[in-house]
Amino acid sequence: MAAPAVLVSGGAGGLGAAAARALAARGCAVAVADRDLEAAEAVALACRTHTPASFAIGVDLTTAEGPERMVERAAEGLGGLDALVQCAAAAPVEPFLETTAAAWEAALFVNVRACALADAAAGRIMKARGRGGRIVHVTSAAARMALPDYAAYAATKAAVDSLTRSAAVALAPFGISVTSLSPGMMDTPLQLRTEEAFARLAGRADLEAFRAERTARIPMGRRADPEEMAAMIVWLVLDAPAYMTAARLNVTGGLDKD
């Protein structure tokens, strides 16, 4: 039986890289897509130790054609597409009263428009193959919070929650499930850049103390490890019940309370 073919966007680092490696370790052939092609190649190389068909794709998700081209290149290189995992994200930080069009465009283009266009492109391929498929979005606890210095990111992640439901209903007749994972705080490069910006805006010079205070807000008292969140993505792609769709999996240590 052929290895499951999976495309991971934002796969060059952080959760995307951890997810790509974990999926490959479970026998998936992975297309690792990212704007940083060199870093994506390094992750794909690690994936090839498990599945030789894995490879990297360079993509600019801010362009109108980027998401569809990414999906088509993945399907062509992998000989089909069984799952799409969307980890790519733009996370601009700026005070609400100083909000800029550039920040909103970055967040909207990558977090929402690219997500929707990639969903549709993957859905068309999966529908034509007639074998169903799975799509996983990475959302955020920020989608349910009031974050005036992070408004574009939070609003676009709320849009991802909405898109998860809409895409799930649209694709359900073809046996394609659409779910999302909310991973809470993780020690990833994106998280660190974001907290450095938050600390700067708050006039806080001691970044470690600032981060410790944020960690203390988590009921379980610690941050998520990217590998444990990657395990949840693997579960959604390979092990979750086929009847599960339109679901938002909240794995935030109690930060995001359903």
Regarding whether 200 and 81 lie in a shared domain, the answer is no
Torsion on CA atoms 95, 97, 103, 107, rounded to nearest 10:
80
* Cβ–Cβ under 8 Å, residues 137 and 205: no
| pTM score above 0.85 | yes
- Catalytic residue, chosen from 153, 157, 181, 223, is 153
pLDDT at 1: 63
Regarding whether 119 and 62 lie in a shared domain, the answer is yes
Instruction: Give the residue among 9, 141, 140 at the shortest CA–CA distance from 69.
Output: 9
Residue type, 55: F
Query: Domain residues for 217?
Result: 186-223
Regarding whether 200 and 73 lie in a shared domain, the answer is no
Residue type, 91: A
Regarding whether 126 and 92 lie in a shared domain, the answer is yes
Query: Domain for residue 95, yes or no?
Result: yes
Query: Domain for residue 257, yes or no?
Result: no
Mark whether 243 is an active-site residue.
no
Query: Domain for residue 258, yes or no?
Result: no
Q: Domain total for the chain?
A: 2
Instruction: Give the residue among 103, 92, 184 at the shortest CA–CA distance from 138.
Output: 184
Torsion on CA atoms 212, 216, 221, 225, rounded to nearest 10:
-50
Q: How many helices (H) and strands (E) does the chain have?
A: 9, 7
Q: What is the arrangement of strands in the sheet containing 248-250, beginning at the earlier edge strand?
A: 55-58, 29-34, 5-9, 83-86, 133-138, 176-182, 248-250
What's the distance, CA 59 to chain centroid?
A: 15
30 — alpha (psi -120 to 50), left (phi > 0) or beta?
A: beta
Regarding whether 179 and 119 lie in a shared domain, the answer is yes
pLDDT at 2: 82
Taking only the tens place, the pLDDT of each residue in 17-27 is: 999 999 999 99
Taking only the tens place, the pLDDT of each residue in 102-146 is: 999 999 999 999 999 999 999 999 999 999 999 999 999 999 999
Instruction: Give the residue among 52, 22, 13 at the shortest CA–CA distance from 230.
Output: 22
* Cβ–Cβ under 8 Å, residues 226 and 8: no
| DSSP label at residue 113 | I
Regarding whether 119 and 54 lie in a shared domain, the answer is yes
Query: Domain for residue 150, yes or no?
Result: yes
Regarding whether 101 and 20 lie in a shared domain, the answer is yes
Query: Domain for residue 141, yes or no?
Result: yes
Stretches where the chain sits below pLDDT 50 are none
Regarding whether 43 and 140 lie in a shared domain, the answer is yes
